[in-house]
Structure 1
């Protein structure tokens, strides 16, 4: 792997995380006034044209039926729950607190991989797992911050996101990228459509525009992260996830009057260090 390719991979990873952060900020902006199901519904509806355009423009073609329908059904169910939990967490918590919990995903990937894929956990990764969980305690400082349902939702989203990743690894790359995107998106849209009549509130055009920007940013981010992993190894791309704490600090302060405490910064640093150790060990093992 050449250095220029690694640089491109890292830059694409940074771009993807910035795009995902834009989508997350949109969720937080809308979350105070709308139910998570309504946000998911309109984000899904506005994403569909992008999916259709991608399918039409794909020169490779190919069928849209999943190669492993049972795994796809399980993934879709997990993604639906993940979307609900993540949306609720961003709407309820300061950005920095939400990201601190979401950053534990590599830790849960390690644990779930050991349970489901029988991947061994060596001593260093085991210590990193424990350190990462302790980092969450430091970041949230339960003695000073009252834990709320938003914290539980963020933790659930981290675990569900890890489960989704492990299922994708288990499938061995059998599915096309657009198939991996399409079925969970349709599952989210169906569930949100069923719930919408019970939670709907009229949305002005400005809020619809925010939802459209969220959909575009998330869709573009997904393809950017795929392109990044195709150009550089995981040890280069995966740490780019932690750049989101910078977005959390900047946009949290500018848009939501949120200030990161020293405790949150310290705990997040511990979580990031643990995640880097896990990624490095995983890359070496692979």
Structure 2
């Protein structure tokens, strides 16, 4: 039964990465026409409605979901994710899906590197070696001699750093709070932060683009639903390596839909980053097991 659940979890993770890749493509399209902050704000309105609906249907309702031992840290988590999403959407507009995701793929390495100072976890020499190798891959992607290397390349790297901190804070609050509580704060604090930022950039949208916006909101809800189901039926350590498929799906969309180019250094560097990230995941799983 456990094997069957793991298989289902893997397929759900594959579906999640595909949905999130489609979400990124829609975000890039809309943010190319309208301000990225407004696009993220509207997306969060629908996401918050989904979170509140889910919390209301669980035992104890909204009051139980809102009960946290670390409300300030939860608020920081929710705000950090909103800022990260805004930064990543800007990166996808300026650099494209392929190069943005290639750089962003280093976030598991940042999680491993920062788990010591943030969570007090021990990181052995093998994982430090993998982290170092992974960042060699990032340098190859950035290609100091030309190509991607520019101040713009720092944008997806900043997004990856913020997402790593968000992940570490999620693990930190898990010491006192349930996953349902963390999800509740992600949506509720997030929508307040997204609205506080996005309202300043409101601009009218033409009717067809409201259709794309509706599809963006649906992919956001669908992606989080499949991700929740994924972690319900399988261990995170078993399915997490498949999250790298988002790089493959997003890059494919970037090449086919947005006519982006695939540079050799991006392929080579991306492969090194993914390999190093997979090693850190498997190493962490082995140490836990």
- Give the distance between the partners of 2:27 and 2:177, measured in 1 at CA: 29
- Give the distance between the partners of 1:60 and 1:223, measured in 2 at CA: 20
Q: What is residue 274 of structure 2 aligned with on the other side? A: 272
Q: What is residue 118 of structure 2 aligned with on the other side? A: 116
- Give the distance between the partners of 2:208 and 2:286, measured in 1 at CA: 48
Asked if the contact 2:141/2:270 (under 8 Å) is kept, the reply is yes
> Counterpart of 1:19 in 2: which secondary structure?
helix
State the Cα distance separating 1:12 from its structure 2 match: 0.9
Q: What is residue 209 of structure 1 aligned with on the other side? A: 211
2:57 pairs with 1:57: yes
Structure 1 length-normalised TM: 0.91
The 3 A distance-change label for structure 1 pair 187 and 277 is same
What's the C-alpha RMSD, in Å, of the aligned pairs?
A: 2.1
| Equivalent runs, 1:150-161 vs 2, <5 Å | 150-161=152-163
- Give the distance between the partners of 2:2 and 2:184, measured in 1 at CA: 33
- Give the distance between the partners of 2:263 and 2:39, measured in 1 at CA: 29
The 3 A distance-change label for structure 1 pair 152 and 183 is same
- Give the distance between the partners of 2:17 and 2:141, measured in 1 at CA: 21
- Give the distance between the partners of 1:36 and 1:164, measured in 2 at CA: 20
> Counterpart of 1:175 in 2: which secondary structure?
coil
- Give the distance between the partners of 1:169 and 1:195, measured in 2 at CA: 26
- Give the distance between the partners of 2:209 and 2:179, measured in 1 at CA: 30
- Give the distance between the partners of 1:57 and 1:141, measured in 2 at CA: 50
- Give the distance between the partners of 1:272 and 1:146, measured in 2 at CA: 19
The structure 2 residue matched to 1:106, chosen from 108, 117, 122, is: 108
State the Cα distance separating 1:77 from its structure 2 match: 2.7
- Give the distance between the partners of 2:175 and 2:225, measured in 1 at CA: 15
Q: Which moved further from structure 2: 69-78 or 43-52?
A: 43-52
- Give the distance between the partners of 1:194 and 1:250, measured in 2 at CA: 34
Deviations 1:175-198 (CA, angstroms, capped at 9, x unpaired): 344432333333343344344454
> Counterpart of 2:121 in 1: which secondary structure?
coil
Asked if the contact 2:98/2:255 (under 8 Å) is kept, the reply is no
> Counterpart of 2:66 in 1: which secondary structure?
coil
The 3 A distance-change label for structure 1 pair 119 and 156 is same
- Give the distance between the partners of 2:187 and 2:153, measured in 1 at CA: 25
**What 5-or-longer segments of structure 1 have no aligned partner?**
none
